Amino acid sequence: MAGGKIKKEKPKPSRAPSNHYQGGISFHKSKGQHILKNPLLVDTIVQKSGIKSTDVILEIGPGTGNLTKKLLEVGKMVIAVEIDSRMVLELQRRFQGTPFSNRLKVIQGDVLKTDLPYFDICVANIPYQISSPLTFKLLNHQPSFRCAIIMFQREFAMRLVAQPGDTLYCRLSVNTQLYARVNHLLKVGKNNFRPPPKVDSSVVRIEPRKPLPKVNPKEWDGFIRICFIRKNKTLGAIFRMKNVLSMLEKNYKTLQAIQTSQNGSLEGTDAQMDISGLGDHKEDHSMDLDNGTDDEMEVEDGDTDVEVSEFKEKVLAVLKERNFYEKRSSKLTQEEFLYLLSRFNMAGIHFS
């Protein structure tokens, strides 16, 4: 071999231990099947969850059971909802005959269509495509649970926790934070999963507010949708838009007609109502974040001004209080949104 190059063997990249059970199953991307393969990460998630030995834990999408096993070690009981019958079989095989088997209940089905039982805490590495409806299904769950520790796509997680003024502050942030305190717990890289997803992930803690705010979810949703039509425009500009004003005027007249005929009122619309509809944030999955306009709805806004009408004056009078007219949704706090909605409602202006 004189003169020949000696080929040095490249050191193999150090990997996180991956001795977790994979069950020899092929994973379906369409079901968001990215299995946690790093046991150290699973331990960290469980430790950060603050599970008590008396807790009934809800796990969504247990897969082959890598997280499930750790949850069974610390909690009283695990209720796991899994859509894929192959995974359900794998779980049964894995825990059969172990001391865990009578503390694990597996429900086969789509979590979005399943009536969830009582639980104290939810810990889950979920399929990312159901992030938004699942979050609002959980927040709508009664009796309320202590907290949920959930792995989300990083960008979705950052939207959940975004504060007024942050680029990612959007309808999803405002809606979630109305019903829960949300904290970012942990950044998780792609290589902790098998197969690795295309995007990075984050673990978030969601703690439902107790009591829930007294707000009509439909009114709130209608109002917030309008405020975020163009989140960087002033509220004055948004509420002068022809489509917005004519929609509000239609609501106003309908409600006036109902009240006159029934001598009724709009009471009885508190937080007991279903909030799961707030999970419609399709636009929030977008990875296309050009200059903060990602959260905007499709509306015509060329023809902004309608002729000065009594109704328009009514709307603008509310906005001129505390100078909301000049403010933008991208910087408005939860309290300001709640205040403004209550002022609109008091003026007879409704959003649903």
Which spans of this chain sit near ligand SAM (rule: CB under 6 A)?
Answer: 31-36, 60-63, 66-67, 81-84, 87, 110-112, 125-127, 130
- Write out the two tokens for 30: 């369409």
Contact 299, 243 (CB under 8 A): yes
Any alpha helices (H) in 180-241, and if so which ranges?
A: 217-227, 235-239
β-strand partners of 104: 78
Q: Which residues contact 112 (CB under 8 A, 6 or more apart)?
A: 130, 133, 134, 137
33/135 with CB nearer ligand SAM: 33
Residue in the shown chain whose Cβ atom is closest to ligand SAM: 61
Strand ranges of the sheet holding 180-188, from the earlier edge strand across to the other edge? 104-108, 77-82, 56-60, 121-125, 147-153, 201-208, 180-188
Any alpha helices (H) in 50-84, and if so which ranges?
A: 66-74
In the complex, minimum distance from the CB of residue 83 to ligand SAM, in angstroms, rounded to a whole number: 4
Q: Is 345 annotated as a binding residue?
A: no
44/243 with CB nearer ligand SAM: 44
Residue 234 is classified by DSSP as B
84/283 with CB nearer ligand SAM: 84
β-strand partners of 59: 80
Q: Cis before residue 197, ω within 30 degrees of 0?
A: no
Q: Is 36 annotated as a binding residue?
A: yes
Contact 139, 179 (CB under 8 A): yes
Q: Is 266 annotated as a binding residue?
A: no
In the complex, minimum distance from the CB of residue 129 to ligand SAM, in angstroms, rounded to a whole number: 8
149/318 with CB nearer ligand SAM: 149
In the complex, minimum distance from the CB of residue 36 to ligand SAM, in angstroms, rounded to a whole number: 4
The values of phi and psi at residue 32, to 5°, are 65, 35
Q: How many Å is the maximal CA-CA distance in the chain? A: 103
139/315 with CB nearer ligand SAM: 139
In the complex, minimum distance from the CB of residue 7 to ligand SAM, in angstroms, rounded to a whole number: 38
Give dist(CA 172, CA 160) in Å, integer.
6
In the complex, minimum distance from the CB of residue 194 to ligand SAM, in angstroms, rounded to a whole number: 8
DSSP string, 170-182: -HHHHHHHHHEEE
In the complex, minimum distance from the CB of residue 108 to ligand SAM, in angstroms, rounded to a whole number: 9
Q: Which amino acid would we find at residue 54?
A: T
Q: Which helix (H) or strand (E) holds 202?
A: strand 201-208
Q: Is 184 annotated as a binding residue?
A: no
26/54 with CB nearer ligand SAM: 26
Q: Cis before residue 195, ω within 30 degrees of 0?
A: yes
126/212 with CB nearer ligand SAM: 126
In the complex, minimum distance from the CB of residue 76 to ligand SAM, in angstroms, rounded to a whole number: 19
Residues of each annotated binding site: 34, 36, 61, 82, 110, 125
Residues of each annotated binding site for S-adenosyl-L-methionine: 34, 36, 61, 82, 110, 125
